[in-house]
Structure 1
Amino acid sequence: MKQQKLVRDIHRDFGYFYVGLIISFAFSGILMNHREHWHPEKYTIETKNIKVQLPEESQITEEFAENLGKQLGIDDKIRRHNVKKGTFKISFEKHDVEIDMKTGKGEIVAFKKTPIISQTMKLHKTTSNWWIYYSDIFGISLILIAITGTLMVTHGKNTFKKRGWKLAVAGIIFPILVLIILS
């Protein structure tokens, strides 16, 4: 009985400690899942049509992209550039530029970070050492919460040994099947 109380106490306290982070990760994870359909991190504040003369695709370099950005009045840091399906795209910190390679017509989209959502999504993207270690501790704690949760109910028809293990195995198999089907 003493051991079961200890398991419940550990499960409860870790659950309480991480509830805010669990909600934040879940919320930002949902947003990240749908980031190709909309840009939850940023919202448009201005769109401007442009027409420029572009060189051959083989001459488009990072330096060219940076210089074009400056000519277009964009002074924030360049993130990346590419030519895909006949469209030249440049991504800056606060602007996106898309230009049709044949016509030279395109647009500049200026945007700002969406408050709170942008910061929450950084949880999934950051690579700083302290956050990686904290995330590792969080992952280990989630495992601990899961294990202590399986040990809490020891009597009756709904124990982990009688019923819960089947659901746990299904919970492991389901995402594996989805990954196999989607790949």
Structure 2
Amino acid sequence: MNKQTFRGLHRDLGYFYIGLIVSFAFSGILMNHRDIFHAEKYTVETKEISVTVPQEEEKITEKFAEDFGKQLGIDDKFRRHKVKDGEFKISFEKHDVEIDMKTGKGEIVSFQKTPIVSQMMKLHKNTSNWWIYYSDIFGLSLIFIAITGTIMIPAGKFSFKRRGWKLAFAGILFPLLFLIFLA
């Protein structure tokens, strides 16, 4: 293959994947900061409650949590429950419930999915077979785009041989150092 062929493939793959690249980058940035805010959903209503729950953690099973949600008037899909540090938490598709087990006081938070953003964030979480294969092809294409990008610049002071390899080395070294020393 000559440089023109690489240049054409580099350009066309870049055009083809631009939407996915932007979606992954944008939703990845949002996911990096999900401890500050949850961009995938937004709160519609918070309702204070006062209930009685068993004090024995072993009585709070998945079935109990699901039925308890129905008693609270929540009819959407049950996701999970957790008891930790005296807090009973139940997560549903459109509601979260948090209850202090000692006092029985808590809240029901109702939320909606953020349009477009929640769908983009699903790209990072999707595990269906077709998406895994598509993501693998995408990953290989990104590798190809990166490699062809290194050989497209003609010889000169900005070429990969003269300058680019140093930046590429720094780009590889930085995340490795970050993982070794700060993780």
The ranges of structure 1 where at least 4 consecutive aligned residues each deviate by more than 4 angstroms after the TM superposition are: none
- Partners of 1:65 and 1:54 in 2: CA distance: 10
Deviation of 1:6 (Å)? 1.3
- Partners of 1:58 and 1:100 in 2: CA distance: 16
Identity of aligned residues (%): 73
Three-state SS of the structure 1 residue aligned to 2:2 is: helix
- Partners of 1:102 and 1:179 in 2: CA distance: 41
- Partners of 2:36 and 2:105 in 1: CA distance: 24
- 2:34 partner letter: R
- 2:79 partner letter: R
Given the alignment of the two structures, is residue 97 of structure 1 paired with residue 97 of structure 2, yes or no? yes
Deviation of 1:113 (Å)? 0.6
- Partners of 1:132 and 1:166 in 2: CA distance: 33
Quote the residue 2:106 is aligned against: 106
The TM-score, its normalising length taken from structure 2, stands at 0.95
Three-state SS of the structure 2 residue aligned to 1:32 is: helix
Pairwise CA RMSD: 1.2
Deviation of 1:182 (Å)? 2.9
Deviation of 1:62 (Å)? 0.5
Quote the residue 1:59 is aligned against: 59
Deviation of 1:70 (Å)? 0.8
- Partners of 2:65 and 2:160 in 1: CA distance: 58
Deviation of 1:51 (Å)? 0.9
Q: Any gaps of 5 or more consecutive residues in structure 1?
A: none
1:148-182 deviations in whole A, cap 9, x for unaligned?
Answer: 00001131011111211111111111112212223
- 2:176 partner letter: I
Given the alignment of the two structures, is residue 164 of structure 1 paired with residue 181 of structure 2, yes or no? no
- Partners of 1:130 and 1:16 in 2: CA distance: 22
Quote the residue 2:146 is aligned against: 146
Q: Any gaps of 5 or more consecutive residues in structure 2?
A: none
Count of equivalent residues: 182
Given the alignment of the two structures, is residue 33 of structure 1 paired with residue 32 of structure 2, yes or no? yes
Alignment of 1:66-145 (within 5 A): 66-145=66-145
- 1:68 partner letter: F
Deviation of 1:139 (Å)? 0.4
1:62-121 deviations in whole A, cap 9, x for unaligned?
Answer: 011011101100111111111122211110001000001111100000111111111111
Quote the residue 1:181 is aligned against: 181
